[in-house]
Amino acid sequence: MKTNSQSVKKEPRIRIAKRVEMSSKYKILLTAFSVLAALIISGILILFLGKNPFEFFLQVIVGSFGSAINLKLLIRIFVPILITSLGLSIAFKMRFWNIGGEGQFIIGALVAMTFALLIGDSLGRFGVFVVIVTGAVGGGLFALIPALFKVKFNTNETLFTLMLNYIALYLVQYFLYGGPKFYISDRPGIPTFKVIDEMLFLSDFKSGLFSVDTSIIVAAILIVFIFVYLKYTKHGYEISVVGDSVNTAVYSGMNVKLITLRTIFFSGAIVGLAGALQLTGSAAGHTLSVNITGGVGWTAIIVAWLAKLNPLGISIVSLLMSVLEKGCGYARTKMGISDAVSDIIQGLILFTVLACDFFINYKVILKKTDKKNMLFDSASAKNELTSNKDESEGSNDLKLCEGGENK
């Protein structure tokens, strides 16, 4: 016979439950606390390396904002990270995992370089606009390749976009080392790409040693535009619905395939725009190179995720990552610390924020145990053992009786 203790399923001592929606203010505070916790852990790590963590973080700030030159170099890191993150966030909003930021950035720069060499100074200053737009279109078309395969064959966009990064990189290497001489400079020695015509340079704003090109204005416009686009337009609403549930989007009459293609083209176009701005701006010396991205495509994935795909949050997180990259490089030269510290700190921030995100959405419940329940469970277990023993003895007696009758 089954006892009452067997029929009632025991509740686990530890369980995870969905948390009630948390206020935005509380979420921001928890996220800020997680970043602070990552910095504290980083400080402990630096202390183990035999260095003063307070001095290290001071050097990081000085290396980013301490002089006009440092601030100029910080902005050169900040702008491409910001624009690329904004582009990827659009695809992520639709749950299309576009990991191809590196490749789309490279293709945007390569297409812009091609048109820059073709038109030269023939269009005057209008040529800058043409070069930037063609670079954006190139990045969008490159991103459209995995999107087409996704809607047609339901391929895995994560692996597809990831592999396209290497195709773009090897394409640039081919044009540099074994392709047509159209792109190659006439300078003797190691092969290098040509420098685009001065008429196609972005305009610079200068004040003493400080200078910044117009790419930062483009980045500021994009922050506002994408925020409005995602939050207040029909296209933005469709992106949210498809991201939440494809079945709901289909049921409501939306053309999911068209929305996917349009959104991914737009996402890749913004990343390609970042590549074109990098080429025409002063950061890359107005020329193409194998290392023109500087790892921006990978950093942008982290930035977009940490910022919860919010354009305003992306601007803040992009600045934080830029400060870490620029400031840690400065602190390395001043204190003799490995440049890998910047990557370690970024990784710690990512993991702590992910942990914070878990506790924002879920809560861990510990079962309370008291002495009465423990005594009740003990007595139930004892009664259950006694009952099983009696049943076993009764069964044995019955077998003995049956054996005697047979004899």
Q: What is the pLDDT of residues 130-145, one digit of tens each?
A: 999 999 999 999 999 9
Mean pLDDT over residues 352-368, rounded? 81
Q: How far apart are CA 50 and CA 52, in angstroms?
A: 7
- 73: nearest Cα among 274, 280, 320, 282: 282
Q: DSSP character for 233?
A: S
Average pLDDT over residues 328-350: 82
Q: Work out the pLDDT band at 216, boundaries 50, 70, 90.
A: very high
C-alpha distance across the termini of the chain, in Å: 31
Q: Is the pLDDT of residue 398 over 50?
A: no
* Tokens 């190691």 sit on residue: 190
Measure the CA–CA gap between 28 and 312, rounded to whole angstroms.
13
pLDDT single digits (tens) 230-278:
999 999 999 999 999 999 999 999 999 999 999 999 999 999 999 999 9
pLDDT at res. 315: 96
pLDDT at 5: 47
- Looking at per-residue pLDDT, the higher value among 212 and 25 belongs to 212
Task: Give helix 101-119 / helix 256-280 axis angle, nearest 10°.
Answer: 60
DSSP per position, 61-73: HHHHHSSHHHHHH
Q: Are 81 and 353 in contact (CB under 8 A)?
A: no
Residue 1 pLDDT? 47
Asked whether residue 200 carries a pLDDT value surpassing 70, the answer given is: yes
Residue 282 CA: distances (Å) to CA of 76, 129, 137, 288: 8, 16, 22, 12
**Which run of H or E residues covers position 18?**
strand 14-18
pLDDT reported for residue 335: 87
Give the percent of the chain with pLDDT over 70: 87
**Is residue 173 very low, low, confident or very high in pLDDT (cuts 50, 70, 90)?**
very high
Does 394 score more than 70 pLDDT?
Answer: no
Sign of CA dihedral 196, 202, 207, 212: negative
- Using the predicted structure, report yes or no on whether residue 387 has a pLDDT greater than 80: no
What Rg, from alpha-carbon coordinates, does the chain have?
A: 30
Residue 2, pLDDT above cutoff 70: no
Helices (H), 197-310: 215-232, 234-244, 246-251, 256-280, 296-306
Is residue 117 within 8 A of residue 171, CB to CB? The reply is: no
Identify the pLDDT of residue 84.
98
**pLDDT over 80 at 312, yes or no:** yes
For residue 191, what are the CA distances in angstroms to 3, 105, 117, 186, 287?
A: 84, 22, 17, 8, 13
Residues 10-64 have pLDDT tens digits of 667 787 888 777 777 888 888 888 888 988 998 998 899 888 999 999 999 999 9
pLDDT in tens, 84-125: 999 999 999 999 999 999 999 999 999 999 999 999 999 999
Pick 357 or 197 by higher pLDDT.
197
CATH topology of domain 52-336: ABC transporter involved in vitamin B12 uptake, BtuC (1.10.3470)
Q: Tokens for 398, please give them.
A: 């019955």
Three-state DSSP class for residue 100: coil
Residue 388 pLDDT level (bands cut at 50, 70, 90): low
E strand or H helix at 365: strand 362-366
* Inter-residue contact 96 to 264 (CB < 8 Å): yes
Rounded to the nearest 5 percent, the helix, strand and coil shares of the chain are 70, 5, 25
Angle, helix 68-93 to helix 311-335, in steps of 10 degrees: 140
Confidence of residue 407 (pLDDT cuts 50, 70, 90): very low
Percent above pLDDT 90 for the chain: 61
